[in-house]
Amino acid sequence: MLKTLKVGALALSISLGMVAAAAISGPGAQAAPAAAAAGPSVNIDNFVFGPAALTVTVGTTVTWINRDDIPHTVVANDKSFKSKVMDTDEKFSFTFTKPGEFGYFCSLHPHMVGKVIVKPA
């Protein structure tokens, strides 16, 4: 019986290791480009986008990071960009290719709003 328990424990350890590896590098995992990580970001926390307004130049990638403990989205008023539902610490990035003012909101909590002001390069 001891041998059976050891084999079962080993099989469980291997299975958990495979699940952890799949979660880290599975098909849904995406490596953030270096430029996106180094560019400006907007934190989502306590039902607020911070900063509420961000000014960038054309060609800039902005990354939104959900620091809240509940899901949120980022959706442009003009529908030019839309994130999936983001859980805690998930990110969404968008590269702005034209100047203008881009208002956005959380589709799950529409009172949450922000804007990105894009200036010519």
pLDDT at residue 6, as a whole number: 42
Dump pLDDT digits (tens) for 75-111.
Answer: 999 999 999 999 999 999 999 999 999 999 999 999 9
**Statement to judge: residues 38 and 84 lie in one domain:** yes
> 48 falls in which pLDDT band (50, 70, 90)?
very high
- Indicate the pTM of the whole model: 0.70
**Statement to judge: residues 76 and 113 lie in one domain:** yes
Number of domains in the chain: 2
How would you class 103 by CB atoms within 10 Å of its CB: exposed for 0-12, middle for 13-18, buried for 19 or more? middle
**Statement to judge: residues 98 and 54 lie in one domain:** yes
pLDDT at residue 25, as a whole number: 35
Contacts of 114 (CB under 8 A, 6+ apart): 42, 49, 51, 52, 53, 54, 103, 104, 105
**Statement to judge: residues 60 and 74 lie in one domain:** yes
**Statement to judge: residues 96 and 57 lie in one domain:** yes
Q: Which domain holds residue 58?
A: 32-119
